[in-house]
Amino acid sequence: MPKTLAKAPQKSRIQHQNQAVILKAALEVFSAYGYRGTTVDQIAVKAGLSKPNLLYYFKRKEDIYVAVLEHTLEEWLKPLRMLDVGGDPFIELTRYISEKLDMSFANPPASRIFANEILHGAPHIQKFLKGPLRELVEEKVKVIRHWIAAGKIKPIDPPHFIFAIWAVTQHYADFSTQVEAVLGSADGKAQVKLAVAEILLRGLKN
Amino acid sequence: MPKTLAKAPQKSRIQHQNQAVILKAALEVFSAYGYRGTTVDQIAVKAGLSKPNLLYYFKRKEDIYVAVLEHTLEEWLKPLRMLDVGGDPFIELTRYISEKLDMSFANPPASRIFANEILHGAPHIQKFLKGPLRELVEEKVKVIRHWIAAGKIKPIDPPHFIFAIWAVTQHYADFSTQVEAVLGSADGKAQVKLAVAEILLRGLKN
DNA sequence: GTCTATAATATGATAGAC
DNA sequence: GTCTATCATATTATAGAC
């Protein structure tokens, strides 16, 4: 078997695998310590690579960070996209809140790296916020307005209602340290879901 | 006038004034760049002092940070402390939400430095969270339970309701970049207050 | 109390052997 | 593709003159 044919795919596979390992490690470290609080060495150690080897895959520290952010944002929008104007508002919104809470509990680092980025002025994702995110919100604002116009839910300010859902659901990822400190021990997922859904949705019932 | 008597108070006044200037400058810089993203030099420049001179007042960078945090937290709790069990629940809660939003709009850096600290595991304020904050929440949980028992508001999970208020109100400070990017331009304070109060409180009405 | 100068260290990034 | 060694720089912190 000729070397050239055998090696090319193998290299790609290793590359692909290493990139995934790096992104996973980088997410955890960036999320815990912030952009400048993170050293390339920390990421390399967590990924099981040497620092120069890691920098072979991503030339600069910032490149790793941007790759992690983009990878995370892709997942982030999925639940909101699924909000269906044809469905029952309370079922749709309950599902959305439930999925966002699931994400917060399952992957706090993903929420935190995003929170950290915005907290510091979102220098790397301005375009994303003003483009795809804004368009998606505008689309779902229409969905909520439609439900209001159809008399299915009480009138509410749609964009601020979306902000409220984001704020409350992500609170359980970003501020879990505080939640646990104040509660003593964290409540179960099911209890949190019930409480949050009631707080955010009961006021919409006719 | 003897030197010793004249100088001592003068030094204290300068010290006190410089400390205030340093804390104000440090709040802005730490809030914008995070703990490790901030250099002592940045704070010194913003405070109008030389770096060694600043380090004369606070021996280490971490000391400045802790001082800023403690100073900020003091202000932070005041509105919640004022929640009065004897008052009308809707007036009390509307006032609390309104004051928290005022704080978020007036002083985003104060909210952000706190958010950043918790986001990264709250290494410097663990005791505060598990002590004074927890006690205050427990006290106000009782207030809410009292209102529920008296039939003044519908049943709600009190601690998670407090978390929701924190999450939503602080969202307008911590995530203002995102809010403005999504809305195009930020809505007026009055509109935000109305929307938030409705979202959080309407579900409590009997 | 405040400054200049500098020590001590940490870290991003690269060169070059294998 | 991966490693060791190292450069270049940035940054915390201090020493010591004034």
What's chain A look like in SS3? CCHHHHHHHHHHHHHHHHHHHHHHHHHHHHHHHCCCCCCHHHHHHHHCCCHHHHHHHCCCHHHHHHHHHHHHHHHHHHHHHCCCCCCCHHHHHHHHHHHHHHHHHHCHHHHHHHHHHHHCCCCCCHHHHHHHHHHHHHHHHHHHHHHHHCCCCCCCCHHHHHHHHHHHHHHHHHCHHHHHHHHCCCCCHHHHHHHHHHHHHHHHCC
DSSP letter for each residue of A53-98: HHHHHSSSHHHHHHHHHHHHHHHHHHHHHT--TTS-HHHHHHHHHH
The angle formed by the CA atoms of residues A70, A178 and B114, to the nearest 5 degrees, is 70
Mean pLDDT score, B104-114: 96
Percent above pLDDT 70 for chain B = 94
pLDDT over threshold 90, residue A79? yes
Percent of chain A with pLDDT over 90: 84
Give per-residue pLDDT as tens, B77-103.
899 999 999 999 999 999 999 999 999
Q: Please give the Cα distance from B151 to B190 (Å, whole number).
A: 30
Q: Domain segments of chain B: what residues?
A: 1-59, 69-204
pLDDT at A111: 97
Cβ atoms B111, B103 nearer than 8 A: yes
In angstroms, the CA A178 to CA B166 distance is 11
Q: Does A161 touch chain B (CB under 8 A)?
A: yes
Model pLDDT, residue A3: 37
- The residues, ordered by sequence, that sit 6+ positions from B114 with a Cβ below 8 Å of its Cβ are B69, B72, B73, B76
Question: Which tokens go with B10?
Answer: 């003068």
pLDDT in tens, B116-163: 999 999 999 999 999 999 999 999 999 999 999 999 999 999 999 999
Question: Are the beta carbons of B121 and A159 closer than 8 angstroms?
Answer: no
pLDDT tens string A158-198: 999 999 999 999 999 999 999 999 999 878 999 999 999 99
Residue A11's pLDDT band, with cuts at 50, 70 and 90, is low
Write out the two tokens for B200.
Answer: 């959080």
Q: Which residue has the higher pLDDT, B200 or B186?
A: B200
Q: Quick: pLDDT tens for B161-198.
A: 999 999 999 999 999 999 999 999 878 999 999 999 99
Question: What gap in Å lies between CA A43 and CA A25, rounded to an integer?
Answer: 6
Q: Is the pLDDT of residue A8 over 60?
A: no
Using a CB–CB cutoff of 8 Å, tell me whether B60 touches chain A.
no
Band of pLDDT at residue A108, cut at 50, 70 and 90 = very high
Q: What is the mean pLDDT of chain A?
A: 92
Q: Which residues of A24-37 are buried (b: 16+ CB within 10 A; e: fewer)?
A: ebbbbbbbbbbbeb
Residue-wise pLDDT for A142-151, tens only, equals: 999 999 999 9
Could you tell me if A32 lies within 8 Å of chain B, comparing CB atoms?
yes
Q: How far is the CA of A60 from the C1' of C17 (A)?
A: 23
pTM of structure:
0.92
**What is the distance between the alpha carbons of residues B104 and B13, in angstroms, rounded to a whole number?**
31
CA distance linking residue A31 with residue B205, whole number of Å? 40
Say which residues have a Cβ less than 8 Å from residue B182's Cβ, sequence separation at least 6.
A129, A133, A134, A137, A159
Residue A13: pLDDT over 90: no
Q: Give pLDDT tens digits for B20-59.
A: 999 999 999 999 888 888 999 999 999 999 999 999 999 9
Cα(B190)–Cα(A138) distance, integer angstroms: 22
| Residue in B with minimal Cα distance to A160 | B195
What CATH homologous superfamily does B1-59 map to? Homeodomain-like (1.10.10.60)
pLDDT of A1 over the 60 cut: no
How big is the A-B interface in CB pairs under 8 Å? Answer: 173
- In whole angstroms, give the CA distance from residue B171 to residue B178: 10
Q: Which of B35, B37, B167 sits opposite A167 (nearest CB)?
A: B167
Q: Are B201 and A203 in contact (CB under 8 A)?
A: yes
Whether A95 shows a pLDDT value over 80: the answer reads yes
Is the pLDDT reported for residue B108 higher than 50?
yes
The Cα A24–Cα A49 span in angstroms is 13
Chain CA centroid to CA A125, Å: 13
How much is the pLDDT for B74? 82
Enumerate the residues of chain B whose CB falls inside 8 A of the CB of residue A123.
none
Q: Which residues of B touch A177 (CB under 8 A)?
A: 118, 121-122, 129
**Residue B13 confidence (pLDDT):** 77
Confidence band for A16, pLDDT divided at 50, 70 and 90: confident
Contact A174 B115 (CB under 8 A): yes
Q: Is B191 within 8 Å of A157 when comparing Cβ atoms?
A: yes
Asked if A1-59 and A71-204 have one fold, the answer is: no
Task: Output the CATH code of domain B69-204.
Answer: 1.10.357.10
Checking if the pLDDT of B7 tops 60, the result is no
pLDDT exceeds 90 at position A17:
no
Name which of A10-14, A60-64, B189-193 the model is least confident about. Answer: A10-14
Contact flag, residue A35 CB and nucleic strand D, below 7 A: no
User: Domain A71-204 is classified in which CATH homologous superfamily?
Assistant: Tetracycline Repressor, domain 2 (1.10.357.10)
* Chain C bases closer than 7 A to any CB of the protein: 1-5, 10-16
DSSP result, B130-178: IIIIHHHHHHHHHHHHHHHHTTSS----HHHHHHHHHHHHHHHHHTHHH
Structure tokens at B189: 């304070």
Write out the E strands in B15-77. none
CA distance to partner chain B, nearest, from residue A17 (Å):
28
